[in-house]
């Protein structure tokens, strides 16, 4: 199981994290290592593009919960975009869709 992580800085206050593969117990630590430092930058907006994620387990959800807590602590913003239905279902079942900023498209919604 592999996960490719590509962080693209779109200016001094915004980063987009493109993910390809699966988020599970094996790959989640690498995602957390890439994601948490971005959320620790004050007023930074971090978008995570999940368009190419076809599988995620509870470890992945835990990683995003940690990133959400970090973003609140450091006054940054975390947005998850382009979520496939299968993965979105996990967020809905756990109620995380109520507390996390989930978007249908990476350029959609208000900034």
What is the separation of C-alpha 50 from the centre of its chain, rounded to a whole number of angstroms?
7
**pLDDT at residue 53 is higher than 60:** yes
DSSP for 56-96 reads E-HHHHHHHHHHHHHHHHTT-EEEEES--HHHHHHHHHHTG
Where does the pLDDT of residue 90 fall: very low under 50, low under 70, confident under 90, or very high at 90 and above? Answer: very high
The span from the CA of 9 to the CA of 6, in Å, is 10
Residue 52 tokens, joined: 């190419």
Where does the pLDDT of residue 101 fall: very low under 50, low under 70, confident under 90, or very high at 90 and above? Answer: very high
**pLDDT at residue 106 is higher than 80:** no
Where does the pLDDT of residue 60 fall: very low under 50, low under 70, confident under 90, or very high at 90 and above? Answer: very high
Where does the pLDDT of residue 100 fall: very low under 50, low under 70, confident under 90, or very high at 90 and above? Answer: very high
Question: Thinking of the domain 3-103, which architecture would CATH place it in?
Answer: 2-Layer Sandwich (3.30)
pLDDT (0 to 100) of residue 103: 87
What is the residue extent of each domain of the chain? 3-103
Residue carrying structure tokens 């980063």:
15
């Amino acid at each position: 199981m592999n996960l490719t992580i590509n962080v693209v800085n779109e200016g001094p206050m915004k980063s987009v994290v493109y993910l390809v593969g699966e988020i599970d117990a094996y790959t989640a630590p690498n995602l957390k290592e890439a994601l948490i430092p971005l959320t620790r930058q004050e007023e930074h907006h971090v978008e995570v593009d999940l368009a190419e994620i076809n599988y995620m387990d509870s470890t992945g959800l835990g990683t995003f919960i940690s990133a959400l807590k970090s973003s609140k602590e450091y006054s940054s913003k975390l947005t998850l975009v382009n979520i496939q239905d299968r993965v979105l279902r996990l967020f809905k079942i756990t109620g995380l869709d109520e507390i996390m900023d989930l978007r249908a498209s990476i350029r959609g919604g208000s900034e």
